[in-house]
Amino acid sequence: MDRNTLTGMLLIAAIMLGWSYFMKPNEAELKQYQHQTDSIKNAKAGIKTAPVTANKTVKFADSAALQEQFITLENEKVKITLSTKGGRVYSTELKGQKTWNGKPIILFNGDENRFGLKLPLTTKNVNTTDELFQPIGSSFSVAGKDSNSVTMRLAFSATQYVDYVYSLKGDSYLLNFGVKMAGMNQLLNPSAKTLNLEWKSDLIQQEKDKKNEQTYTTVFYQKENGDVDYLSESKDKEEKLEEPIKWISFKQHFFSTVLIAQNKFQTGTLSTVTDLTKSNLKNLSADLVVPIQSKPDEQLNFTFYFGPNHFTTLKNVGYDLQSQIKLGWGPLGWINRWAVIPLFNFLDNFNLNYGIIILILTVVLKLVLLPITYSSYLSQAKMRALKPEMDAIKAKVGEEDQTKLQQEYLKLYKQAGVNPLAGCIPLLLQMPILLAFFRFFPASFELRQQPFLWMNDLSTYDSVINFGVNIPFLGNHLSLMCVLMTISTLIYTWMNNRISGVTGQMKYIGYIMPVVFLGALNSFPAGLNFYYFCANIITFLQQFIIRKFVNDDAIHAKIQENKKRPGASQKSKWQMRLEEMTKQQQAAQQRKK
C-alpha cells in the first residue's frame, strides 16, 4: 500500500466518523422515530395512539392510557366534566338544582352532544370532536375568588398543536374557553380564513310538563347590532345567518347553555328539530363560522354560561342575556322589567314563601289600581241610575231602528253628564298590567319547585286529579287552583252584572269567558292561577268597601240636576253626525221603496 492510498483511506475514515457524530439524532428525534414505529405496529393491531408533544409535563404511557379520560372542574355552582374525546365539555351539572323528578340538572348530556372545530388541513379535514386530546393538568375544585385551569391538547407535531384551555372561577356559572393554535398556519389550507365550529345538542326534559317546556325551548342569539332574536318555538326551523352574531344560546324553559364569542361569529346556520319518537325535548344545532388570521400563534376566546334563566343573574353576566326571558312585547315588557321584577326582588329579600309574595304583589297592584277601580264602579252606578230612562226610550223608539235608539241614548247621556265609555276605559288601562303578569309568572325562575299550600311547584300546574288519558278541553289532569280561579271569576261576573244592570244576552255572555279560561289555563303555572284568584278576592273586598261610599240615590239626584243645567239639551257634534247618518239611511230606504 503506497503512501497516497493510506492517506486517502484515513481521510475517508475521519469523514465517516465525523458524519456519524454530528448527524446523530437527538433525544426528541429518537422519540419521534419510536412513536412512528409504535404507531405502525399499533395500527396493525387496531390500537389508536396519541401524538408526541414537546411538553415535558405530559407523559405518554401505554395504549391503555390513551382511552377516553374524564377531568372534573368544580365550584360552588357547577360541576363540569371534560372528556379527552374531542377535548370538549362532556356534561355540566348545576348544583342545588333538580329536575321535576329529583334528578340532577344536566345541561351538556354526554354523548348526546357534539362540540368541536373543523380544521381544513392541506392533507385532510379534521373534526376535533372525533379526536383524542391529551390532558395537561388534572381535576380541580375552586371556591370564592380562586380560579384554576386545565388544557386539552391535540398535537400534530412537537411544535404544531391545538390547545383547548378551560378556566373556572369560584362561585360562577361562567367557564372561560380559549382555543390556542400553535404553528397550525403551516398545516391549514392557505386559503382558509375561517373555521367552522359545530355544536349539536339533544336537550333532556327538566320540567314536569314536557309539552310546555318544549314551547320554551329554542335557539337564541344576539346580532352584532345588539338585537336579540330566536328561532320559532312552536315548529322546526332552520335559519342561515347573514350577519355576525355575538352569542348563541341553547335555551330551555328555566336553564340555558350560552356560548359567547369575545370577538364574534362571522355567520352561521341554526336549527331546531322536535322528534316525537324520542324522550328528549328538542335537537338544537349550530354551525358557526369563526374568523381566523392564520398567524403562527392563533388565539380564539369564548365563554360558556351554564345556568338558570334568572333575570337578574343573566343581567349581571352582561351581553343582554336576560333578553332570552320573554316578558312580553312593548308595554308588557316595560311593566315587568321596571315595576314587577324590582318589586318581586324587593319582597324576595324578606325570605317569605313565594305564595305570600304573590299575595302581597297582588295587594300592592290592586291598591295602585284602586282609583281606576273606583272610577269604573262610579260609572257603572251612573248607568244604573239612567237605566229606567233608557228602558223608557227603548219602549218609545223600539229596537228596530238601532241608529235612532243610539241617537236618543246619546242625547240622554249628554243631558245627564254621563260618559258611557267611562266604565270601559279603566278596564282598558288595567289590561296591560294583567297581561304583563300573564307573561311574568310562567317565565319566573324564582317560582320553580317552590311549594305553597297543596301546590308543590308554583311554576307548573297543580294536578289534584290525574285522568291518565287526554280529555278534550282539559288535557290529562285538573288543576284545583285553576278551578278556584274559575269559580271566583264566575262569582265576579255575577256581581258585576248586578252592579252594571246588564240584561238580555249580554248578561250571559260574561259567563262564557271564565269557562274558556278553565281549559286555557288548566296547564298554566299554579302561581299564575293563584294570582288571578287573589285578584278576584281582593276585587270583591274593594267593591264591598266602595259600595259603602257610593250612594245610588245621590248619584240619581246629581244626574237630574245636570239635566237642568244650561246647554244640557244642546246637541253634540257626534249627535248631529248621527242624526245626519239617520236621515241618509231613511232617505235610502224610501228610494228603494
The string of DSSP letters for 324-377 reads GS---STHHHHHIIIIIHHHHHHHHTTT--HHHHHHHHHHHHHHHTHHHHHHHH
Residue 62's pLDDT is 37
Residue 558's pLDDT is 73
Mean pLDDT of 81-90: 94
Q: 241 near 248, Cβ under 8 Å?
A: no
Residues 6+ apart with CB under 8 A from 239: 231, 269, 270, 271
Q: Are strands 70-74 and 475-479 parallel, antiparallel or unpaired?
A: unpaired
Q: 500 near 384, Cβ under 8 Å?
A: yes
Q: What is the 3-state secondary structure (H, E, C) of 65-84?
A: HHCCCEEEEECCCEEEEEEC
| Burial call 163-198: b when 16+ CB within 10 Å, e when fewer | bbbbbbbbebbbbbbbbbbbbbbebbeeeeeebbbb
Residues 6+ apart with CB under 8 A from 103: none
Q: Is the pLDDT of residue 72 over 70?
A: yes
Region of poorest pLDDT, from 37-51, 93-107, 232-246, 516-530: 37-51
Q: Are strands 174-182 and 161-169 parallel, antiparallel or unpaired?
A: antiparallel
Residue 477's pLDDT is 86
List beta partners, residue 169. 147
Q: 244 near 315, Cβ under 8 Å?
A: no
Q: 403 near 563, Cβ under 8 Å?
A: no
- Cell numbers for 191: 386559503
Higher pLDDT, 154 or 32: 154
Reduced DSSP (H G I as helix, E B as strand, rest coil) percent helix, strand, coil of the chain, to 5: 45, 25, 30
Higher pLDDT, 395 or 26: 395
Q: What is the pTM of this model?
A: 0.77
Residue range 108-123, pLDDT digits in tens: 888 888 999 999 998 8
CA distances from 292 to 17, 155, 169, 189, 326 (A): 49, 19, 28, 12, 34
Residues 6+ apart with CB under 8 A from 32: 52, 158
Region of poorest pLDDT, from 288-297, 330-339, 511-520, 568-577: 568-577
Domains identified in the chain and CATH numbers: 63-325 (2.70.98.90), 335-563 (no CATH)
Q: Are strands 70-74 and 140-141 parallel, antiparallel or unpaired?
A: parallel
Region of poorest pLDDT, from 331-345, 428-442, 543-557: 543-557
Residue range 540-591, pLDDT digits in tens: 888 888 888 777 777 777 777 766 666 555 555 555 565 566 666 666 666 6
- Cell numbers for 54: 414537546
Of 314, 329, 324, 537, whose CA–CA distance to 439 is shortest? 329
In angstroms, the CA 174 to CA 77 distance is: 10
List beta partners, residue 177. 166, 302
Q: Which amino acid is at 257?
A: T
DSSP letter at 52 equals P
Is the sign of the CA dihedral 310, 315, 317, 318 positive or negative?
positive
